[in-house]
């Protein structure tokens, strides 16, 4: 993988994700604000479903003395993450399937100050996500935090949801016409890259086409996290379509 411009791949992933979520950096800022407020500037972090390491990148830029363990199953995104952080002793990556009940056995530590995830767990349905939240309650130390920033749809507000979706998709259509890469376009480019072609093929063997789970509302996440063993949980940031739920052990 020598000679691959991993920074360019990271930037292209960020641009593709920002097409869907123009407020993406704001949710990361609030997430790290809450990390600092509740566990301090030197946390041991589990970057859950880490992808290319977007959270880890922002974590270490803000908190140079933090450490991060990234866990994911996607071989292509992990290749970008591993290439990007090669040689950084603060970062470890683990390949594991979060739907496997024994996934946490692959982690290098038994407890974490913070478990962070963004735009990743919506592909889990409610039952496996409930089970995962129970496992996370056992990984977060007392006083530590879990945060999930993701699509959380409140079905009690259908007119608001429809209006927001229409406006958001009109913006996306304009940007797509101007040349922005969407999810499918980005993966098509990765599939043609000499280094990423093979892990991209394996990625689609594992996942197939992208599919969403249940995307329950933020209040469901908060209630489920409290039932799992967290002492407090609530929304600390929201856009019209997404929320950041924070739980404290």
Per-residue confidence (pLDDT) for residue 217, from 0 to 100: 95
pLDDT exceeds 90 at position 215: no
Higher pLDDT, 211 or 69: 69
Give strand pairing partners of 48.
71
> For 194-204, what is each residue's pLDDT tens digit?
999 999 999 99
Q: In which band, very low, low, confident or very high, does the pLDDT at 164 lie, cut at 50, 70 and 90?
A: very high
Q: What is residue 3's predicted lDDT score, i.e. its pLDDT?
A: 76
Q: What is the pLDDT of residue 116?
A: 99
The Cα 109–Cα 99 span in angstroms is 19
Average pLDDT, the chain: 96
Q: pLDDT category, 43, cuts 50, 70, 90?
A: very high
Q: What is the pLDDT of residue 213?
A: 79
Q: What is the pTM of this model?
A: 0.96
Predicted local distance difference test score (pLDDT) of residue 210:
66
**For 12-37, what is each residue's pLDDT tens digit?**
999 999 999 999 999 999 999 999 99
In this predicted structure, the answer to whether residue 121 has a pLDDT above a threshold of 70 is: yes
pLDDT at res. 2: 57
Distance CA 136, CA 20 (A): 27
Confidence class for position 211, pLDDT limits 50, 70, 90: low
Encode pLDDT of 123-151 as tens digits. 999 999 999 999 999 999 999 999 999 99
């Amino acid at each position: 993988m020598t000679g691959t411009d991993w920074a360019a791949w990271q930037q292209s992933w960020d641009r593709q994700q920002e097409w869907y979520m123009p407020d993406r950096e704001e949710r990361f800022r609030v997430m790290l604000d809450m990390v600092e407020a509740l566990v301090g500037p030197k946390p041991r972090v589990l970057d859950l479903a880490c992808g290319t390491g977007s959270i880890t990148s922002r974590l270490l830029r803000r908190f140079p003395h933090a450490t991060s363990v990234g866990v994911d199953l996607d071989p292509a995104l992990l290749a970008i993450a591993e290439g990007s952080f090669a040689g950084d002793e603060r970062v470890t990556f683990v390949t594991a399937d979060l739907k496997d009940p024994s996934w946490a056995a692959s982690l290098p530590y038994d407890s974490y100050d913070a478990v962070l995830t963004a735009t990743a767990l919506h592909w889990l349905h409610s039952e496996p996500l409930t089970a995962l939240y129970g496992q996370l309650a056992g990984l977060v130390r007392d006083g530590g935090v879990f945060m999930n920033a993701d699509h959380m749809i409140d079905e009690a507000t259908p007119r608001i949801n429809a209006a927001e979706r229409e406006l958001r998709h009109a913006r996306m259509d304009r940007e797509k016409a101007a040349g922005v890469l969407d999810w499918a376009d980005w993966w098509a480019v990765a599939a043609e890259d000499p280094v990423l072609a093979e892990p991209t093929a394996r990625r689609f063997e594992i996942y197939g086409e992208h599919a969403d789970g249940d995307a329950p509302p933020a209040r469901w996440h908060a209630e489920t996290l409290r039932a799992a063993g967290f002492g407090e949980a609530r929304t600390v940031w929201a856009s019209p379509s997404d929320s950041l739920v924070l739980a404290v052990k």
